[in-house]
Amino acid sequence: MTPLQIDFGQQSSERVVGIDLGTTNSLVGFMDLTRPRVIPGSDGSLLVPSVVSLTSDGELVAGGIALDLLMTAPERTVYSVKRLMGRGLSDLGEESRLFPFRFAPESESVLRIALGERTFTAPEISAAVLRELKRRAEAFLGEPVSKAVVTVPAYFDDAQRQATKDAGRIAGLDVLRLVNEPTAAALAYGLDKRNQGIVAVYDLGGGTFDISILKLQDGVFEVLATHGDTHLGGDDIDNRLLRIGLEDVASEWGEDLSSDSEAVQRLRRAVIRAKEELSFVPFTSLRFEYKGKVYERQLTRGVLEKLIADIVDRTLGPSRRCLADAGLTVEQIDEVVLVGGSTRIPLVRQAVEALFKARPHTELNPDEVVALGAAVQAGILSGHVEDTLLLDVTPLSLGIETMGGVVSKLIHRNSTIPASATETFTTAVDGQRNVLIHVLQGERELAKDCRSLARFDLKDVEPMPAGLPRVEVRFLIDANGILNVMARDARSGKEQTVEVKPTYGLTDDQVEQMYLESIENAEADFQARQVAEARVDADTILAAVEKAKQNDAFYELDENERETIHQAVNDLLLVYHSDDHLLIRSRIEQLNEKTTKLAETMVNAAVRGALKGTKID
């Protein structure tokens, strides 16, 4: 791999804002003269609800206004759209029934959300939230704002990151950088602490969970490893409490309200309010009033903790795997930082403290810390902050398919980005003019088990015998995690470049699932790779022997020698489809041995031909 080139772009005198585009709430911040600040609205509130509604006038509105419309016009209102970024309807499966809004039937590849009679993509919905944040910043700063840094979950895949950049473009924002949310949090805390050491950033927000291990040293924030679940957060807790509440109301009132959108939203607000109160008091009252009826029950913190214990436990597995990826033990973690509103829940804090054996940092408001970090990164890009570097990582390995369906990984999982890597490959067929470059993402050894990102042809390669052409393939991941692939014929200089922008539709759990499958199938995958590579080598020697049979030198051998080669070829063909790579390689060695004299005869014949007619004085 070539040395990493860290480039934060040219400094700009124009104001750059930092945006935390959250599942439940969003914030916008900027670098003041001395510190990052979150920009308040005209009412003094810092949070902008990530809710969007289509008004009766056909206008998309976001924030507090949309949150109010969620009660009166739920059929034209959408929330938690962050969970839908970069996804298609087929990806949602049974989960689609949990969303209280409709999806258009043409949503198979690009998800379209139905609001009233109109439909919108997830980036269009997110753009409405970004526009609201943009307006808030312009009103507060008194100047136009067109450049931003936007945070994303560390485990967002290529499609989800591209969807976020698309949302910024629709909102009229030039997204200069996508920054992982845990990394942004480390920036926010790093400015205050300037600590050297190893930090775990545990981020449990409304819809996503991320865990990152970072190394802080001399102003450099380097992500050693990252893990998470892009479908795990406070929304899961709310949905569970909501289901229990609906069952309770149905039992008490004898009425099923689950299909009544307004009732569901009113009850959702009630359970969220009760959940939030139980973070600070040992018991509270869950009260729901609707159409003259009142439902009320006492709820204790202990009962809540029993109801959500398994959800909290789901965050601990990725946390342990992240430690393993970083090659660290909990004893080597110097500090733990909590991010996201859901980390206010006492059970969450207790679980994190028990896992890392350290009291986590909560000095900064967990709702604001990501936005503050985004503001710091915005300050770096605009030239207002110096002597700070931020290095992120790519969550899955990237490579290309080679002969035998084997994956050659160029950039490995958890490589620091921006990153580049170049490797040289060759052709498999004599006179080959076109080379197919198949770009893959994943941890498995064979192409069929990895995710296909792109295919393109390097055309007009100079025709030569197999194995002689040199095709250079270069991978470059930019600071936003977007992959560029370049293939070049080293002899002719012809090249082809593609920016990998996958279509929306990858499931949120795929990154985690791909990683787990690579562990579960590691032994079988390695065995399959060894077999595939042995068969490729067998193909090479069989083709060489077949070609040699057309040479006069073959018939200079006596009949027994020719028969011995025929037998060795047959022996190799008999085991070619075996799953025993050692057996295949033993037959290759046998054929190599039996063709040694043939090779010598061919070389001698070639030398005689070259010297024919030459006089040596």
Integer Cα distance of 109 and 273 in angstroms: 36
- Asked if residue 8 is part of any domain, the answer here is no
Model's pTM, two decimal places?
0.58
Q: What is the pLDDT of residues 522-579, one digit of tens each?
A: 677 677 778 888 888 888 888 888 887 877 777 777 888 888 888 888 888 888 888 8
- Asked if residue 353 is part of any domain, the answer here is yes
- Torsion angle of the four alpha carbons 184, 188, 194, 200, in this order, in degrees rounded to the nearest 10: -50
Low-confidence winner among 2-11, 319-328, 581-590 (lowest mean pLDDT): 2-11
Domain that holds residue 538: 522-611
181 catalytically annotated: yes
Integer Cα distance of 22 and 80 in angstroms: 8
Are both 367 and 510 inside the same structural domain? no
Are both 59 and 94 inside the same structural domain? yes
pLDDT average, residue stretch 76-93:
80
Integer Cα distance of 340 and 338 in angstroms: 7
Location of structure tokens 């061919």: 602
Are both 271 and 326 inside the same structural domain? no
For the chain, the maximum distance between any two Cα atoms, rounded to a whole number of angstroms, is 118
- Nearest-CA neighbor of 463 among 423, 427, 490? 427
3-state SS, 385-452, equals: CCCCEEEEECCCCEEEEEHHHEEEEEECCCCEECEEEEEEECCCCCCCCCEEEEEEECCCCEHHHCEE
Are both 72 and 123 inside the same structural domain? yes
260 catalytically annotated: no
Are both 470 and 510 inside the same structural domain? yes
- Classified as helix, coil or strand, 48 is strand
Q: What is the pLDDT of residues 442-482, one digit of tens each?
A: 777 888 878 777 777 777 777 887 777 788 888 877 666 67
User: What pLDDT does 275 receive?
Assistant: 93
Number of domains in the chain: 4
Q: Is the dihedral of CA 538, 544, 550, 552 positive or negative?
A: negative
The CATH code of the domain that includes 491 is: 2.60.34.10
What distance lies between CA 590 and its chain's CA centroid?
47
What proportion of the chain, given as a percentage, has pLDDT over 70?
A: 83
- Asked if residue 10 is part of any domain, the answer here is no
Are both 130 and 42 inside the same structural domain? yes
Tell me the pLDDT band of 516, cut-offs 50, 70 and 90.
low
Catalytic residue, chosen from 132, 158, 181, 368, is 181
Are both 513 and 529 inside the same structural domain? no
Are both 118 and 164 inside the same structural domain? yes
Catalytic residue, chosen from 91, 203, 367, 368, is 203
Are both 209 and 248 inside the same structural domain? no
Integer Cα distance of 384 and 398 in angstroms: 35
Are both 342 and 193 inside the same structural domain? yes
User: What pLDDT does 158 receive?
Assistant: 76
Tell me the pLDDT band of 414, cut-offs 50, 70 and 90.
low
Catalytic residue, chosen from 82, 134, 147, 215, is 82
Higher-confidence residue of 221 and 440: namely 440
Are both 365 and 376 inside the same structural domain? yes
Domain finish residue from 520, 546, 571 = 520
Most confident of 217-221, 387-391, 395-399: 395-399
Domain finish residue from 492, 520, 548 = 520
User: What pLDDT does 507 receive?
Assistant: 43
- Neighbour count for residue 94 (Cβ, 10 Å): 6
The CATH code of the domain that includes 570 is: 1.20.1270.10
- Asked if residue 223 is part of any domain, the answer here is yes
Are both 402 and 253 inside the same structural domain? no
Integer Cα distance of 95 and 509 in angstroms: 12
> Which residues have CB under 8 Å from 272's CB, separation 6+?
238
Integer Cα distance of 526 and 545 in angstroms: 29
Domain finish residue from 250, 282, 310 = 310
Buried b (16+ CB within 10 A) or exposed e, 451-461: bebbebebeeb
Give me the amino acid identity at 568.
A
The CATH code of the domain that includes 91 is: 3.30.420.40
The CATH code of the domain that includes 287 is: 3.90.640.10
Residue 343, pLDDT above cutoff 80: yes
Buried b (16+ CB within 10 A) or exposed e, 173-208: bebbbbbbbbbbbbbbbbbebeeeebbbbbbbbbbb
